[in-house]
Structure 1
Amino acid sequence: METLRNQGNAGIVLQVIDAIHEQASYLSEIDGATGDGDHGINMNKGFMMAKERIEPSDSFAEALKILGRTLVMDIGGSMGPIYGTMFSKLSRVLKKAEPITKEAFLEALENAVQGLMDLAGAKVGDKTLVDTIYPACQAYQAAMKQDAEFSQCLREMAKGAEAGKESTKDLVAKIGRAARLGERSRGHLDAGATSCWIILTTMANAMLAQLQSRE
């Protein structure tokens, strides 16, 4: 059975932070088409602030908690509370797991999805990050039902995230600033859905590299 070490695995979160840092300009470019064009700037600011507070020796769950708390407490706008909630919900489930199993990670994902939908009132089809994380969670869950290993579940999660992100191109925004554009928001990727795809894909790849097989 494949499991993931929780203790001392803050490096997974640090890789996520680095990925957002590297893609900040791209995210702001996407946001510029339907929003204020500052999504990448705000994301980068919050994530880099959290990076200074995370120790490599921290657990995966603790690093997620620090990132979530930093985004909620120190970053304004809508992004801070939204992503802060996502990371905090993941952390809340995973802090009890050592090692982390595929079942525990599914519970954490489901907790994050529910938290995001409750917070923003967003649902699939509203052209938000929910359009990325929900199908990612569904794909992971479907793989588990097929008795797939942890690694395959993570790969399916990444595929689901990408498909979800791409789906936002054909959607009309119903929440947030982009909603003011109405039909004109169609034809553009959603910036939040795109940043969520970067986060989930990077997290999946980093976790894959750390998975351990146990009898």
Structure 2
Amino acid sequence: MTTAKEALRVVGQAVIDKKSYLTDLDQAIGDGDHGINMARGFESVFKKIAVLDDNIDLTTLLKTVGMGLISSVGGAAGPLYGTAFLRASGVCAGKTEIDAVTAKAMLDAAIKGIQDRGKAKKGEKTMLDALIPASEAMDIAIKAGKTEVECLADAVQAAQKGVEYTKTIIATKGRASYLAERSIGHQDPGATSSTVMLEALYNYLE
């Protein structure tokens, strides 16, 4: 049986498995610790959710994840991802099942949280360059009457294109912004880790 807790474990494990890859990406343009920090964060989160009931409501689960990431992930990623999970948790309050419309609303709430916390927008070589296209693709898919899994598939594809797009633009946020034009040619680690999460969720549900 599919549970939110199991899905979260799959998503977190995907990030942990990509620790070295994400760290290598960050060493090229950032502090060089994105993969290490994110892996440590989800390892901490796993300990926190292990004591929760397997059928815990999604709101409580996501709040636990958000607070866990904020308290354990170093750098900017902890507050940004933590806020994203916390904002998403508010959208699904009282929901026992998540349809495509609710999933998009959760993603949009996460995006708004990242924007509020990081003062960033699309086109600045951040995780938003993957997440915003993913939301836009979901919107189109929902209006086309696609299933939840099909909507997520389109979101993943858009996020992947967003990651490729970050290679073509100059970083204007965080440590990467110090490199200016030299950041071109490198993909953003945050956009990549965001996409890894979406891919893992899709593969799990599919």
Q: Name the Cα RMSD after superposition.
A: 1.6
Determine whether 1:164 maps to 2:131. no
Separation in structure 2 between the aligned mates of residue 10 and residue 59 of structure 1, nearest angstrom: 9
CA deviation vs aligned residue, 1:33-62 (integer Å, no higher than 9, x gap)? 111211111111111000111136034443
TM (normalized to structure 2)? Answer: 0.93
* Aligned equivalent of 1:22, options 17, 24, 27: 17
Q: CA deviation at 1:96?
A: 2.3
Residue 85 of structure 2 is matched in structure 1 by 87
Q: How does 1:93-172 map to 2 (within 5 A)?
A: 93-172=91-170
Gap runs ≥5 in structure 2: none
Separation in structure 2 between the aligned mates of residue 44 and residue 151 of structure 1, nearest angstrom: 26
Q: CA deviation at 1:74?
A: 3.0
Residue 213 of structure 1 is matched in structure 2 by none
Moved more, 91-100 or 109-118: 91-100
Q: CA deviation at 1:76?
A: 3.1
8 Å Cα contact 1:106-1:140 kept in structure 2: yes
* Aligned equivalent of 2:28, options 28, 33, 36: 33
Letter in 2 for 1:29: D
Identity %: 36
Q: CA deviation at 1:204?
A: 2.3
* Aligned equivalent of 1:70, options 68, 71, 74: 68
* Aligned equivalent of 1:182, options 165, 180, 183: 180
8 Å Cα contact 2:40-2:72 kept in structure 1: no
Separation in structure 2 between the aligned mates of residue 109 and residue 75 of structure 1, nearest angstrom: 21
TM (normalized to structure 1)? Answer: 0.89
Gap runs ≥5 in structure 1: 210-215
SS for the counterpart of 1:10 is helix
Q: CA deviation at 1:65?
A: 1.9
CA deviation vs aligned residue, 1:142-197 (integer Å, no higher than 9, x gap)? 10111212121111111111111111011100000000100000000111111111
Moved more, 150-159 or 47-56: 47-56
Greater relative contact order structure (CA < 8 Å, 6+ sep): 1
* Aligned equivalent of 1:50, options 14, 25, 45: 45
Residue 4 of structure 2 is matched in structure 1 by 9
8 Å Cα contact 2:57-2:96 kept in structure 1: no
Moved more, 145-154 or 121-130: 145-154
Matched pairs, number? 203
